[in-house]
Chain A
Amino acid sequence: MPPFLELRHVGKSFAGVRALDNVSLAIDAGALHCLAGENGSGKSTLIKIISGVTQPDQGEILFGGQPQRALSPARAIARGVQVIFQDFALFGNLTVAENLALSSELRDGRRLVNWRRVRAVAAEAVARLGVELDLDADVERLPTSGRQLVAIARALMSDARLLIMDEPTTALTRREVETLFRIVRDIRARGIAVLFVSHKMREMLEISERITVLRNGRVAAAGATADFDEAAITRAMTGQEIAATPYRWQGQAGVPRLDVRGLAVPGRFAPIDLAVQPGEIVGIAGLLGSGRTDVALSLFGMHPSYQGRIAIDGAERRIASVPEAIACGIAYVPEDRLTEGLFATQSIARNLLAGSLGRFTRAGLLDLVRAGAAARAMVQSLQIATPTAERPVMELSGGNQQRVVLGRWLLTEARLLVLNGPTVGVDVGSKSGIHRTLRALAMERGLAILMISDDGPELVQNCNRILVMHRGRMVDELAGEAMTEAALAERLRGLS
């Protein structure tokens, strides 16, 4: 039987830049296929070609062995291709029921809305997915995982044969990812093929049957998932080996950089004691809602009514506001760097300097020459990939944007860096670059780092200690030989 979808020697150029070059790919009916690659490797272009948004310059697209000419979005949908984009393309102001039924009402060319039919159509779509969703809730009130379910249910309503999911696990907790995987396997069992676009190797290995890795617009590797391991995927994605040596802190315990006694925010987390030495990278693991983010926020002055004592380099400080936290040398990098951290349309230099302009004043006036030099030096030392620091920060890739946020804090002469999900949404190559940078900063500059993450391997590779939080309490600590991915996963699984 010919595969459901086959691409043969597909090529595509944009303004002379080769986005895809001689890419071949076959997806069997009911197969779970993973498309891997870093940002800019051509994944998005490939999705656009399959969904008919973009036409290839070269090569053929075949559905069920039949060559398909001039694939348009409407024809791709008619063939059963459905794409779930990262932003889900849902209407937050409308109910779940209406979000589900709107497209089919529109497709049927209806002019009037029959609300009973809308509800019935939506109820059937939700039932088919085998999940519970409140049909009358406004979509914007649902968590990310709920919105994703609505998007999946909507995609499956239109007789889908191939479901393309673009980075579906990015904003999900481990538990939600497991639910998603269960649903994806259900979908597959009904003979619907799923193309998973991801850069998370662990998930790819867990869920897929075949993997195709793109690098610079070419197929760098392809085959059955059983023939791949993490190292092989990484090699294919980046073209180089990325060593996974754990971080070892060699320093002597002296006056801790951060010394916390009985820190508590009632209703958020119970009193904790915590000490971090200069040069240490301490991880905090825990499920979403375990209080780990609140610990970070209270260190950054965002829970001014905290109880307990905080000492920085031996001096006790009261941190009741963000400016006070910054004055103490504490930096916080939030998870959602795009909305919380950066001025997207402003230049890299301005973004880097946004927290430290006060340092570059002379008699109340800004010394732009000195500030500019400091920004350019930071671009160099963090290896931010840009021709000049004057480019807008939104032109950078996710990994480089994250470095800009880091660089801003380093310019404030931070002594303690608190990171919340430092590499969420960052591809493998950039991720290891960020890890290298963080480790170098801790090792060479004696920066103390607190790293909160859902990514177990990230913690194990980069921390010298990992604390486990659960329901507002510190329940465990892993260090040295006991600190392995398996041990951490084991501890987290034990919590519920």
Chain B
Amino acid sequence: MTAPAVLRRSEAVVFLVIVAAMLAIGAINPAFWQLGNLFSLLRSNVITGIMALGVLTVMISGGIDVSFPAFAMTAMYLTLRWMLAGGHGGVAVPFAMATAIGIALGALNAFFVHSVRMIPLIVTLGTAALARGFLLGVVGTSNINIDRMPPQLIGFAGTELLATTGPGGAHIGLTAMLPIYLGLALAVHLLLRHTMLGRAVFALGGDREAARRAGFDLARTTYFVYGLAGGLAGFAGLLHVSMIWLANPHDLAGMELDVIAAVVLGGASIFGGRGSVVGTMLGVFMLVMVNNSLIIMHISTTWQRVVVGVIIIAATALTALRDRRRAG
């Protein structure tokens, strides 16, 4: 291979694919390039993106997490119920609470993965079922509609960075949740790349035994990665319902596939030890854009699942090939 080093990085490949896809979609339907569509595309990145940051960290450590959508809904729903029952308001406290519930649930994953030495996929499948079942059985199944949603949350999530009026007088705004996503992404990037805790995550995913011998605290690292994934999920769960003004305990089911697909697409290895925040953000953008564009190209939403499936298999095949070449 004679490609320059920068082009061999999976981030660069995904970036070029995104550019090509944007040109193609724009050629089929020029409406793609309208400001309103681009802003809505960025807005759709926020929730998937925040959750993907947690999943990325888990995957680098050599684990996997399929429980975060269930955790997100549990943290969100418990927080909302608490707000409604006690008449609590505010923004910071509810988000802190949802995050804390997510962290606690993530710690449960870490306990089974680290202390009981169970396989992460099985653990998180189990805790996901547990969380969803608990939510439906104990807290109830009723939706919380816009009329009962705390207005401060709606107001917060509706904040816009800039707003304009499009053709036909439609309101076009760029959500202020985007910088929150970007800020979290920067924080996770710095954490993974520039702290010993972050390098411990890579070490654990690279070779567990070597990490133990080198003196890394594996328990702390495992609790950190699953706690981070849970906390980000809880935060994103509450943000999600604040943005769509509707809390439905069945929401986000199946989202784990999209997020894992995005993370793998961004170059993270299923086997652990590899992955980057930039790659993950590009992977999320790619996936969200494809889903979003199928809608504006009037392709049935059922086909979106097919596309997600194809993307997962293609991205995993590519990383598997890459890993095989490394090994050989």
Determine how close the nearest CB of chain B comes to the CB of A140; give it in whole angstroms.
6
Of the listed stretches B12-20, B68-76, B103-111, B200-208, chain A binds B200-208
Q: Which of B196, B274, B327 contacts A111 (CB 8 A)?
A: B196
**A365 interfacial contact with B, CB 8 Å:** no
Closest 10 CB pairs of A and B: A93-B273, A91-B206, A89-B210, A93-B206, A89-B213, A113-B194, A106-B215, A103-B214, A91-B203, A91-B207
CA distance A173 to B128 in the complex (A): 51
Q: A113-B194, A138-B326, A141-B326 are in contact. Are A89 and B199 (CB under 8 A)?
A: no
Question: Are B197 and A89 in contact, CB atoms less than 8 angstroms apart?
Answer: no
Question: Are B214 and A89 in contact, CB atoms less than 8 angstroms apart?
Answer: yes
Question: Are B195 and A102 in contact, CB atoms less than 8 angstroms apart?
Answer: no
Determine how close the nearest CB of chain B comes to the CB of A103; give it in whole angstroms.
5
Determine how close the nearest CB of chain B comes to the CB of A49; give it in whole angstroms.
17
**B172 interfacial contact with A, CB 8 Å:** no
Provide the residues of chain A in CB contact with B147, threshold 8 Å. Answer: none
**A94 interfacial contact with B, CB 8 Å:** yes
Most chain B beta-carbon neighbours within 10 Å: one of A98, A102, A141: A102
Provide the residues of chain A in CB contact with B211, threshold 8 Å. Answer: 91
CA distance A185 to B213 in the complex (A): 27
Question: Are A94 and B206 in contact, CB atoms less than 8 angstroms apart?
Answer: yes
Provide the residues of chain B in CB contact with A140, threshold 8 Å. Answer: 326-327
Question: Are A92 and B273 in contact, CB atoms less than 8 angstroms apart?
Answer: yes
Question: Are B215 and A103 in contact, CB atoms less than 8 angstroms apart?
Answer: yes
Question: Are A94 and B195 in contact, CB atoms less than 8 angstroms apart?
Answer: no
CA distance A106 to B198 in the complex (A): 12
- Interface positions, chain A 364-409, Cβ under 8 Å from B, are none
How large, as a class, is the contact surface on chain B? Answer: 20 to 34
Most chain B beta-carbon neighbours within 10 Å: one of A89, A91, A110, A141: A91
Question: Are A93 and B274 in contact, CB atoms less than 8 angstroms apart?
Answer: yes
Bits for A56-95, please: 1 = Cβ < 8 Å to B, else 0: 0000000000000000000000000000000101111110
Determine how close the nearest CB of chain A comes to the CB of B243; give it in whole angstroms.
34
**B114 interfacial contact with A, CB 8 Å:** no
Determine how close the nearest CB of chain A comes to the CB of B269; give it in whole angstroms.
8
**A1 interfacial contact with B, CB 8 Å:** no
Question: Are B213 and A110 in contact, CB atoms less than 8 angstroms apart?
Answer: no
Question: Are B196 and A94 in contact, CB atoms less than 8 angstroms apart?
Answer: no
CA distance A102 to B327 in the complex (A): 23
B-contacting residues of A (Cβ < 8 Å)?
87, 89-94, 98, 102-103, 105-107, 110-113, 115, 138, 140-141
Q: A90-B207, A91-B206, A93-B274 are in contact. Are A111 and B195 (CB under 8 A)?
A: yes
Provide the residues of chain A in CB contact with B326, threshold 8 Å. Answer: 138, 140-141
Closest to B203 in A: A91
Provide the residues of chain A in CB contact with B202, threshold 8 Å. Answer: 91, 93-94
- Interface positions, chain B 188-242, Cβ under 8 Å from A, are 193-199, 202-203, 205-207, 209-211, 213-216
Q: Which of A92, A93, A106 contacts B216 (CB 8 A)?
A: A106
CA distance A103 to B207 in the complex (A): 14
Provide the residues of chain B in CB contact with A92, threshold 8 Å. Answer: 206-207, 273
Determine how close the nearest CB of chain B comes to the CB of A491; give it in whole angstroms.
30
Question: Are B203 and A102 in contact, CB atoms less than 8 angstroms apart?
Answer: yes
CA distance A140 to B274 in the complex (A): 12
Closest to B274 in A: A93
Determine how close the nearest CB of chain A comes to the CB of B323; give it in whole angstroms.
9
Bits for B260-295, please: 1 = Cβ < 8 Å to A, else 0: 000000000100111000000000000000000000
Provide the residues of chain A in CB contact with B272, threshold 8 Å. Answer: 93
Determine how close the nearest CB of chain A comes to the CB of B10; give it in whole angstroms.
14
Q: List 17 A-B contacts (CB under 8 A).
A: A87-B210, A89-B209, A89-B214, A91-B202, A91-B210, A92-B207, A93-B202, A93-B269, A93-B274, A94-B202, A94-B206, A106-B196, A106-B215, A106-B216, A112-B195, A113-B198, A115-B194
Question: Are A107 and B215 in contact, CB atoms less than 8 angstroms apart?
Answer: yes
Provide the residues of chain A in CB contact with B327, threshold 8 Å. Answer: 140
Provide the residues of chain A in CB contact with B194, threshold 8 Å. Answer: 112-113, 115
Provide the residues of chain A in CB contact with B198, threshold 8 Å. Answer: 113
CA distance A102 to B274 in the complex (A): 17
Q: Which of A106, A110, A111, A138 contacts B214 (CB 8 A)?
A: A106
CA distance A141 to B323 in the complex (A): 11
Provide the residues of chain A in CB contact with B199, threshold 8 Å. Answer: 94, 98, 102, 105, 113
CA distance A103 to B203 in the complex (A): 11
Question: Are A110 and B210 in contact, CB atoms less than 8 angstroms apart?
Answer: no
CA distance A102 to B214 in the complex (A): 8
Closest to B326 in A: A140
Question: Are A91 and B216 in contact, CB atoms less than 8 angstroms apart?
Answer: no
Provide the residues of chain B in CB contact with A115, threshold 8 Å. Answer: 194
CA distance A49 to B297 in the complex (A): 69
Provide the residues of chain B in CB contact with A89, threshold 8 Å. Answer: 207, 209-210, 213-214
Provide the residues of chain B in CB contact with A107, threshold 8 Å. Answer: 215
CA distance A141 to B216 in the complex (A): 24
Question: Are A90 and B195 in contact, CB atoms less than 8 angstroms apart?
Answer: no
Provide the residues of chain B in CB contact with A105, threshold 8 Å. Answer: 196, 199
Determine how close the nearest CB of chain B comes to the CB of A338; give it in whole angstroms.
16
Closest to B200 in A: A106
Provide the residues of chain A in CB contact with B214, threshold 8 Å. Answer: 89, 102-103, 106
Provide the residues of chain B in CB contact with A106, threshold 8 Å. Answer: 196, 214-216
CA distance A141 to B327 in the complex (A): 7
Determine how close the nearest CB of chain A comes to the CB of B313; give it in whole angstroms.
23
- Interface positions, chain B 276-328, Cβ under 8 Å from A, are 326-327
CA distance A87 to B213 in the complex (A): 12
Provide the residues of chain B in CB contact with A138, threshold 8 Å. Answer: 326
Closest to A140 in B: B326
- Interface positions, chain B 23-73, Cβ under 8 Å from A, are none
CA distance A110 to B197 in the complex (A): 10
CA distance A98 to B200 in the complex (A): 11
CA distance A259 to B198 in the complex (A): 59
Provide the residues of chain A in CB contact with B203, threshold 8 Å. Answer: 91, 94, 102
Question: Are A112 and B196 in contact, CB atoms less than 8 angstroms apart?
Answer: yes
- Interface positions, chain B 73-108, Cβ under 8 Å from A, are none
